A and B are shown apart, each in its own frame.
Chain A
């Protein structure tokens, strides 16, 4: 088993810095299909994950293409899938929200992970991958975080307004979201998979740290604690954007792997994460990988690795890789990782 990722999570210096590129819609590219097609076909999805592992060699694999849609769709939100060769990422249709604040949260459908939407498909893929790679590399299932799921159910603007006008209702909706996430996560855990929570709607680019603390933090902390009790020791929480302002809250969630996105202050993350003995993933900018040379990718990687300052809990990541990102760019990152020695 590749223990590099787990060693970094435990802040025990691995043989080299682990690499976790953010490959979601780009998975489909490995099998020459569109994200819409692959995320609806368990065989294609499985093949895409195996191809990703073979060609990119990440230090952990994540089951997920259109990460934030699966739970919301299983509850009843409408997802837009794209036809033909359109490689856009499926997304929740704005008119497809299921909670408009006028009805009871209790009337929302609690999905059954084995029956509803694409939850069974994702579980099937996880089972397939666990059989082939489960002893070789950590496999984690992507789960929506509570704010992001609640935002899909109600619409982000509506959810924010509820926080002011009907705070108890907003809390209730977040509580419902947590229950969905727990059940879906539990189904993966039973397959032997790990989980990773994605909650980028909680970024300070959108929500204040104060509102995060009041509405989201208690529920996220309880959710992570629940997964710990189920035997999942490592629960990463991914919140994009500049999370420097909410780093205290972020660490209070109990997640042992947080995200330091390209806009965030890496020095502040080093300071606070080392004090709290938590790992963090530093994202390098990868939006232009299709247009810059491998040498430039290599140099950028080295610059990013230098930011680690030798911290054993440092993980190298990318922002979400666009569909079609050239393999040469990822090969350049791997070369830099293998050759880099912190001085």
Chain B
């Protein structure tokens, strides 16, 4: 459908106002909100993620697209709820102790929400014990840990150790992300997964939860 391709392209270009207008038009036309989400917004963000990985797009441009997606999701959300779309699962996310950076975490949150997950964001500078408490309280299927600094990434390990000490490690899959981390680091600290960007994070979460990746 041409309008969905247009929506994906406008999203990729970060044209918030046009994305909002077209989303509303598509909703008004009676198109399923799930179709708008999957074939318009998520398809657009998948291109954004690919371009970011290839060095064709950088964070400021990605933030523009994500902002447009967030605004568009706000239009779709009540319609998705009315359609009875069930949550695909609960994800807990936070930036580890000592780290005040939240851009990456926020991008991942937007993408996960867009993909139908319920995301509980417990913020920045999160003590290991607070992650433990939040896991007990919310029983998420996946925990996302974010860090931006080479010094704070070491607190991902401390957090995983605290979760293990509390006897909760087998209850939750753990995925990590952030500029200084890698798959090698994820393996070393005992995380279940690593993602280099927000789009791939959704795929990784789906994979960890046994869903089919798109």
Binding site for B on A (CB under 8 A): 25, 80, 88-89, 91-94, 156-157, 160-161, 163-164, 203-208, 211, 241, 245, 287, 319-320, 322-323
Contact = CB atoms under 8 A, between A and B. Distances in A.
A32 B100 CA distance: 25
A287 B103 CA distance: 23
Contacts of B60: 160-161, 163-164, 207-208, 211
B64 A164 contact: yes
Given A25-B151, A245-B55, A208 B61 contact: yes
Contact of B124 (A94, A161, A204): A94
Contact of B150 (A93, A164, A208, A320): A320
Nearest to A152: B100
Nearest to B124: A94
A273 B50 CA distance: 31
Given A88-B125, A204-B58, 8 more contacts: A80-B100, A89-B98, A156-B103, A157-B63, A161-B67, A203-B179, A287-B154, A322-B154
Contacts of A323: 151
Tell which of B55, B100, B153 has the most Cβ of chain A within 10 Å: B100
Interface in B176-193: 179-180
Nearest to A206: B59
B58 A211 contact: yes
A160 B66 CA distance: 13
Contacts of A204: 55, 58
B102 interface: yes
Contact of A93 (B61, B99, B100): B100
B97 interface: yes
A114 to B, nearest CB: 28
Given A160-B59, A163-B60, A211-B58, A92 B154 contact: no
A336 to B, nearest CB: 21
Question: Contact residue range for chain B?
Answer: 20 to 34
A164 B61 CA distance: 9
Given A88-B98, A94-B100, A161 B64 contact: yes
A91 B61 contact: no
B58 A287 contact: no
Contacts of B58: 204, 206-208, 211
A319 B59 CA distance: 23
A207 B58 CA distance: 6
Contacts of B102: 94
B104 to A, nearest CB: 10
B200 to A, nearest CB: 16
B98 A160 contact: no
Nearest to A25: B151
A90 B61 CA distance: 29
Interface in B71-121: 97-103, 106
Nearest to B103: A157
A91 B125 CA distance: 10
Nearest to B14: A164
A322 B106 CA distance: 26
Nearest to B107: A157
A204 B103 CA distance: 15
A241 B148 CA distance: 11
A228 B167 CA distance: 59
Interface in B7-64: 14, 55, 57-61, 63-64
A161 B179 contact: no
Given A91-B100, A161-B63, A322-B151, A80 B125 contact: yes
Contacts of B103: 156-157
A164 B62 CA distance: 12
A287 B157 CA distance: 12
Contacts of A203: 179
A197 to B, nearest CB: 19
A92 B61 contact: no
Nearest to A283: B150
Contacts of A157: 63, 103, 106
A339 B58 CA distance: 42
21 contacts: A25-B151, A80-B100, A88-B152, A89-B151, A91-B100, A92-B100, A93-B100, A94-B100, A157-B103, A161-B63, A161-B67, A203-B179, A204-B55, A205-B179, A206-B58, A206-B179, A208-B60, A208-B61, A287-B150, A287-B153, A319-B150
A163 B61 CA distance: 10
The 3 closest A-B pairs by CB, nearest first: A208-B58, A88-B98, A160-B60
